[in-house]
Amino acid sequence: MLRSLLPRLLSSVAVFLLIAIGLFTLVRLAPGDPIDMMVPPELAGAPRDAYIASVRERFGLDQPIVVQFWRWLGGLMTGDLGFSYTTGRPVGELLAGRLGPTALLMGSALFIGLVIAVPAGVIAAVRRNTIADYTISSVSVLAIAVPSFFLGMLAIYTFAVKLQVLPSSGMHSTGRDDLGDLLLHMIMPVGLLALANAANFIRYVRSGVLEELEKDYVRTIIAKGGTRTRALRHALRNSLMSLITVLAMTIPIALSGAVVLEQIFSWPGMGQLAIDALGNRDYPVLIGFGLYIAVLVLICNLIADLSYTIIDPRVRTAR
Amino acid sequence: MTKQTAPTPPLAVHDLTLDISTPQGKVRILEDVAFEVRPGEIVGIVGESGSGKSMTALSVLRILPAGARIVGGRIEFEGVDLATLSSGRMRRIRGRRIAMVFQDHMTTLDPVISIGAQIEEAYRIHHPRVPRAKAREKMVETLELVGVPDAADRSKQYPHQWSGGMRQRAVIAMALINDPDLIIADEPTTALDVTIQAEILAVLRELRDRRSLAIMLITHDMGVIADMADRIVVMKEGKVVEMAEAHALFSSPEHPYTRKLLDAVPQPSDATPERGRVEEAEPAALQVSDLVVEYHRSWRRQGVRAVDGVSFSVPAGQVLGLVGESGSGKSTIGKAIVGLAPITAGSIRVGDVELKALRGGQARAARERFGMVFQDPASSLNPRMTIGECIAEPLVAHRRTMSRTARHARVVELLEQVQLPAAWTTRFPHELSGGQRQRVGIARALALDPELLIADEPTSALDVSVQAAVLEVFQDLQQRLGFSCLFISHDLAVVELLSENVVVLQQGQIVEEGNARSVLNDPQTEYARRLVDAAPFPDPARQRARHVTRITNV
C-alpha cells in the first residue's frame, strides 16, 4: 500500500510546487499596487515617493521578481509565509487563527450533512418514485437552488430578530466563552451549511444506490434468500465510491470557508480573511490562502485514493 | 444424503401466466406455461431470447423485475404454491430449497466482497446460529466439490481476480452450499469458452448423479441441451410449444418451431475428406508472416505477448477460419490487420501492400481495402446515427468526391444486398433486432467493396436461428462478391460451415491448421481435440456416446 502511495505523494509535491509558482506569478501580474493602500493620503510629491520606496525596500518588493520568488520559496520551506501587508502579522499565524473557527463550522456542517444525506438518499433510492422520494428530492433541489445568503438573512430575521432565541452573529457573546454559548452561536450557520451539504450529497447517494440496486449481484443476494435490507447493505457499500469522490471535492471547498455565510454571520473564518485580503491586495495573505487550499485539495485527494483502495479490492490489486 | 424418489415432483408449474406493465400498457410475457421437474432430472428449457424462458425461472423464485406480476397459475413446490406464498416463507425457500445459478456477468457477484464471504453468506442466511468457522469450513468444502483448486486460499480473493469459468463454479458453489432440492441454471455456460463450458456442465451432471438433484436448465444452445437434458421444454413467445423426452425431441421434433430451431444449428458433417489439399495458385489476399503482437502495459511491467509468431495466408476469394479459446490471440490478429493492435514483429500483407510499414495517410488509404465486422452489433453501431449514416460512413471517409445521391444509392444497394428494406436508412440501431443490426454491420464493412473482410465472432451474440439467417446472407454475399475473408470464431461448427481451411490458435501460436472438415473430424493435436470434444453436439445419442468414449479414454 505504501509503495503505491509513494508515486502519488511525489506527484502531489510536484503539483504543489507548480501551484506555488503559478500563484506567485499570477498575483504579481494583477493590476494595482498594494503600496498605494499603505501610503498615508496626506503625503504627496517627493515625500510620497520616498515613503513608497522605503516601504518597497522593507518588503523586498524592489528586488527582481525571480529573487523575490526565490526568497519566498525559501521562506515557504521553513514555514514562513511572509507578513501581511495590511496588518504586518505573519501570514501563517493569520491563517492558523482562522482555521479553527472554519474547521469547527465546516466540520460540523459536513458531519451533520452526511448524517442527514445518507439515510435520506437511501430512502429516496429504495422508495423510488413514491411520495418519500419526491419529497426528499424536491427539498434537496430547493435547498440547492435558494442562495445561502437569502436563507441566512431569513434565519437571522426569524430567530434572532423576531423570536430572539438565537444570537445573530459571531462565535461568542461578549464576555462569554463557554461551550453552551458557542453551540448557540453555531446553530444557524451550521444548520444552513449542513442543509446545503446534505442537499448536494443526497443526490449522489440516491443515484449511486439506485445504480447499484440495478446490478446483478443484488438479485443474486435475493436469490440466495437474503432480505432487501441485506441487499441494500451490499449496494450501499458499493455506492460509497462515488460519495467519497464528492467528499474529496467538497472538503477543500468547505475548509476554504463559506465566504457568504461567514460574512452574514460575522464568523471569523477563512472566507472572511480571503475577502479582506482580496480587497486590500494583500499578496502574502492571498498566496498563503491559495497554497492552503492547494494543500487541502492534494491531501483530500490522497485520502480519497487511499480510501478507494480500502473499500474497493479492484483498485487495490490493480496496483 | 440420498433422497428417496418422492411420489410428487419437486416442482410442478401449472398454467403460469405473467404480465409486465409498461408505459404502453400490460404486456403478456408468459401464457399458460406448464411443466414439471422430477427429482434427479435435468429439464432443459430452450427458446430464443424473448421466449420467456428466463422469466419462467425468475417466476419460480419470485425474483421478478419491477412491474412483472404473476396473474394466473400455480407454481407447486412439494405441494406448496410458491406463487401465493408469503414473502417471509418464500425467503426461506430461496437459496435453501431452490437455488439459482445465473449466467456469469462481471456483476453476478458483489465486486467488493471476497468470493468466500459471499458463498458463506448464502449459508449463514439460512443458518444464522452456525459459528463463522463452521460456515467457512462448509464454504471451502463446497468450492472443492465444484472443482476449485486451493479453495481455502483462493476464496479470500475477489471476483475480478477469478476467471469466468472459476466465477461460474463459485456461483454454482453458492447454489449448492445449502444442499437444495432444485437448481435453476439460467444460461450457466453462455459466456464461457467451449472447453470450460464442458467442465462446468460435467460438474452439474455429476452433482445430479451424486445427490439426485433436480436441475432446470435454461439455455438457447441446442448442443448444451442435447448434452444435459433428460426432458426438454421448448418455449416461444411466452408459451410452451413442445415438451418431450430429449432423444424423442431431437429425433422427431413435432412442432415446426422446434424443427426450425434444430435446423438452424450448424451441424458438423461426418464425412472426412482427404487431408492436406493446399491451393497455392492464386496470390494470397492476406499474407501474415511471423506476426508478433505485444501489448506494453506500463513502463514497469513486462509486455504481454498476445500473438507469438503466427503465419498463415488467405487465398483470394476464400474464407479462412481462425479458431481458439478466449485469450488465444485470435481477435488480436484481426485487430492487428485493421490497425487496432501494434505489429511488434513480422509482416501483414494485404494484396501487395505491407501494412507494417505504413503510417498516416498511406495506412488510411490501405484500410480502404478491408472491412471489419465486429462481434457485438449493439455497441459497434453509433446509437445516435441512422442506419443509412452508419453504412455511409466509410464512403464519407474514403470517397470524398462521391455525391450525396450516389452515396445514398450505394447505401440502398448495400441494404438490399444484406436483405434489409431500403426504406430503413432513416431508422436507428435500437429499432432493429440483433440479427438485423449485424446485417447493417456487414453492409457497412462491404461499403467500400473490400478485397478482404475480417469478421470477428460476427454471430456469437445472436440466437441460433438468427445466426443461421445471418450466416446465410454472409455466405451468399461472399460467393457473389468474391471477397476473401478471415473468419474469427470460437464455434467450430460455424467455421466449418463457412470456410475451407481453418487455423487453430492456442496462446498466440498456431497449433493446427488445414482443411476445416478434417480438423474438425480428425484433430491431430491434443488442444484441437479438446476444443472439438468440448463443443456439444445437438444430438443426445451422439453426445452420450461421446461421454462414454471420453470416460473410457481417461
Residues B506, B380 share a domain: yes
Predicted confidence (pLDDT) at residue B133 exceeds the cutoff of 90: yes
pLDDT for the residue B275: 41
- The answer to whether B6 and B79 have CB atoms below 8 angstroms apart is no
Q: Is A11 on the interface with B (CB under 8 A)?
A: no
- Nearest chain B residue to A219, by CA: B63
Handedness of CA B132, B137, B139, B140 (dihedral sign): positive
Residues B441, B310 share a domain: yes
Report how far residue A149's alpha carbon sits from residue A261's, in angstroms, rounded to the nearest whole number. 6
pLDDT for the residue B277: 43
Give me the residues paired with residue B322 across strands: B488, B503
The shortest CB-CB distance from B112 to any of A224, A225, A311 is to: A311
- Cβ neighbours of B93 in A, within 8 Å: 225
Amino acid identity at A276: D
Residue A51 lies in a domain: no
Q: Is A222 on the interface with B (CB under 8 A)?
A: yes
- Higher-confidence position of A86 and B63: B63
The percentage of residues in chain B with a pLDDT greater than 90, rounded to a whole number, is: 33
Residue A54 lies in a domain: no
Residue B149, helix vs strand vs coil: coil
Whether residue A225 and residue B122 make contact (CB cut-off 8 A), yes or no, is yes
Residue A216, helix vs strand vs coil: helix
Residues B310, B231 share a domain: no
Residue A17 C-alpha, separation from nearest chain B C-alpha, in angstroms: 25
What mean pLDDT, rounded, does chain B reach? Answer: 85
Over residues B488-547, the pLDDT tens digits come to: 988 888 888 888 889 999 888 999 988 888 888 888 888 888 888 877 777 777 777 776
Amino acid identity at B197: Q
Residue A42 lies in a domain: no
Predicted confidence (pLDDT) at residue A45 exceeds the cutoff of 90: no
- Nearest chain B residue to A233, by CA: B110
CATH code assigned at A312: 1.10.3720.10
pLDDT for the residue B377: 79
CATH code assigned at B58: 3.40.50.300
Concatenate the DSSP letters of all residues of B381-426 into one string. Answer: S-TTS-HHHHHHHHHHHH-TT--HHHHHHHHHHHHHHTT--GGGGG
Over residues A234-246, the pLDDT tens digits come to: 999 899 888 888 8
- Choose the final residue of a domain: B138, B159, B179: B179
Residue A14 lies in a domain: no
Residue B110 C-alpha, separation from nearest chain A C-alpha, in angstroms: 5
Residues B332, B242 share a domain: no
C-alpha cell at B424: 430503413
pLDDT for the residue B415: 92
Residues B193, B154 share a domain: no
Predicted confidence (pLDDT) at residue A124 exceeds the cutoff of 90: yes
Over residues B81-124, the pLDDT tens digits come to: 999 999 999 999 999 999 999 887 677 899 889 999 999 999 99
- Higher-confidence position of B478 and B278: B478
pLDDT for the residue B554: 39
Predicted confidence (pLDDT) at residue B42 exceeds the cutoff of 90: yes
At residue A317 the predicted structure's pLDDT band, cuts being 50, 70 and 90, is low
C-alpha cell at A268: 471569523
Residue B272 lies in a domain: no
- Nearest chain A residue to B92, by CA: A225
C-alpha cell at B273: 475428406
Over residues B303-352, the pLDDT tens digits come to: 678 888 899 999 888 899 998 887 788 888 988 888 888 888 888 988 88
Question: What is the rounded average pLDDT of the residues B199-227?
Answer: 88
Q: Is A6 on the interface with B (CB under 8 A)?
A: no
Over residues B440-454, the pLDDT tens digits come to: 999 999 999 998 999
- The answer to whether B170 and B115 have CB atoms below 8 angstroms apart is yes
Residue A232 C-alpha, separation from nearest chain B C-alpha, in angstroms: 12
Whether residue B125 and residue A217 make contact (CB cut-off 8 A), yes or no, is no
Residue B108 C-alpha, separation from nearest chain A C-alpha, in angstroms: 4
The shortest CB-CB distance from A225 to any of B113, B125, B171 is to: B125
Residue with cell 492476406: B286
pLDDT for the residue A130: 92
Predicted confidence (pLDDT) at residue A205 exceeds the cutoff of 90: yes
B113 to A129, B123, B133, B138, B265: CA distances (angstroms):
30, 15, 18, 18, 40
Over residues B220-244, the pLDDT tens digits come to: 888 888 889 999 999 999 999 999 9
The shortest CB-CB distance from A314 to any of B122, B160, B175 is to: B160
Residues B68, B161 share a domain: no
At residue B273 the predicted structure's pLDDT band, cuts being 50, 70 and 90, is very low
B101, containing H or E segment = strand B98-101
Residue A55 C-alpha, separation from nearest chain B C-alpha, in angstroms: 53
A189 to A195, B106, B361, B444: CA distances (angstroms):
10, 46, 63, 62
Predicted confidence (pLDDT) at residue A61 exceeds the cutoff of 80: no
- Cβ neighbours of A234 in B, within 8 Å: 110, 113
Residues B338, B221 share a domain: no
Residue A21 lies in a domain: no
The percentage of residues in chain B with a pLDDT greater than 70, rounded to a whole number, is: 92
C-alpha cell at B182: 432444485
Counting the structural domains of chain A, the total is: 1
Residue A227 C-alpha, separation from nearest chain B C-alpha, in angstroms: 7
- Cβ neighbours of B126 in A, within 8 Å: 225
Over residues A258-297, the pLDDT tens digits come to: 778 888 888 888 888 888 888 888 888 888 888 888 888 8
Range of the domain at A203: 98-269+288-318
What mean pLDDT, rounded, does chain A reach? Answer: 85
Residue A309 lies in a domain: yes
Residue with cell 460476427: B458
- Higher-confidence position of A64 and B185: B185
Predicted confidence (pLDDT) at residue A319 exceeds the cutoff of 50: no
Report how far residue B475's alpha carbon sits from residue A84's, in angstroms, rounded to the nearest whole number. 82
The shortest CB-CB distance from A317 to any of B93, B102, B161 is to: B161
Q: Is A127 on the interface with B (CB under 8 A)?
A: no
Whether residue A224 and residue B113 make contact (CB cut-off 8 A), yes or no, is no
pLDDT for the residue B278: 45
Predicted confidence (pLDDT) at residue A181 exceeds the cutoff of 50: yes
pLDDT for the residue B274: 44
The shortest CB-CB distance from B96 to any of A225, A230, A238 is to: A225
Whether residue A221 and residue B96 make contact (CB cut-off 8 A), yes or no, is no
Residues present in chain B in total: 554
Residues B303, B372 share a domain: yes
Residue A305 C-alpha, separation from nearest chain B C-alpha, in angstroms: 16
Residues B51, B85 share a domain: yes
pLDDT for the residue B303: 67
- Dihedral of the alpha carbons of A64, A65, A68, A70, in degrees to the nearest 10: -110
The shortest CB-CB distance from A224 to any of B95, B111, B113 is to: B95
C-alpha cell at A223: 436469490
Residue A5 C-alpha, separation from nearest chain B C-alpha, in angstroms: 16
Whether residue A222 and residue B92 make contact (CB cut-off 8 A), yes or no, is no
Report how far residue A160's alpha carbon sits from residue A265's, in angstroms, rounded to the nearest whole number. 11
Residue B215 C-alpha, separation from nearest chain A C-alpha, in angstroms: 16
- Higher-confidence position of B456 and B276: B456
- Cβ neighbours of A224 in B, within 8 Å: 94-95, 99-100, 121-122, 125, 174-175
- Cβ neighbours of A219 in B, within 8 Å: 63, 102
Residues B374, B258 share a domain: no
pLDDT for the residue A318: 53
- Nearest chain A residue to B59, by CA: A223
Whether residue A216 and residue B158 make contact (CB cut-off 8 A), yes or no, is no
Residue A144 lies in a domain: yes
Whether residue B102 and residue A223 make contact (CB cut-off 8 A), yes or no, is yes
Q: Which region, left, alpha or beta, applies to residue B95 given φ > 0 means left and ψ of -120 to 50 means alpha?
A: left
CA atoms within 13 A on the CB side of B378: 6
Question: What is the rounded average pLDDT of the residues A203-216?
Answer: 91
- Dihedral of the alpha carbons of B463, B469, B471, B473, in degrees to the nearest 10: -150
pLDDT for the residue A174: 79
The 8-class DSSP code of residue B381 comes to: S
Determine the longest span between alpha carbons in chain B, in angstroms.
78
Residue B533 lies in a domain: yes
Name the interface residues of B facing A (CB cutoff 8 Å). Answer: 61, 63, 91-96, 99-100, 102, 105, 107-114, 121-122, 125-126, 158, 160-161, 171, 174-175
- Residue A265: CB partners within 8 Å, gap ≥ 6? A152, A156, A168, A169, A170, A188, A189
Range of the domain at B144: 110-179
Residues B312, B192 share a domain: no
Over residues A137-165, the pLDDT tens digits come to: 999 999 989 888 888 889 999 998 898 88
- Cβ neighbours of A319 in B, within 8 Å: none
pLDDT for the residue B98: 94
- Cβ neighbours of A236 in B, within 8 Å: none
Whether residue A224 and residue B122 make contact (CB cut-off 8 A), yes or no, is yes
Counting the structural domains of chain B, the total is: 3
Q: Which region, left, alpha or beta, applies to residue A111 given φ > 0 means left and ψ of -120 to 50 means alpha?
A: alpha
Q: Is A156 on the interface with B (CB under 8 A)?
A: no
Report how far residue B335's alpha carbon sits from residue B345's, in angstroms, rounded to the nearest whole number. 15
Residues B448, B410 share a domain: yes
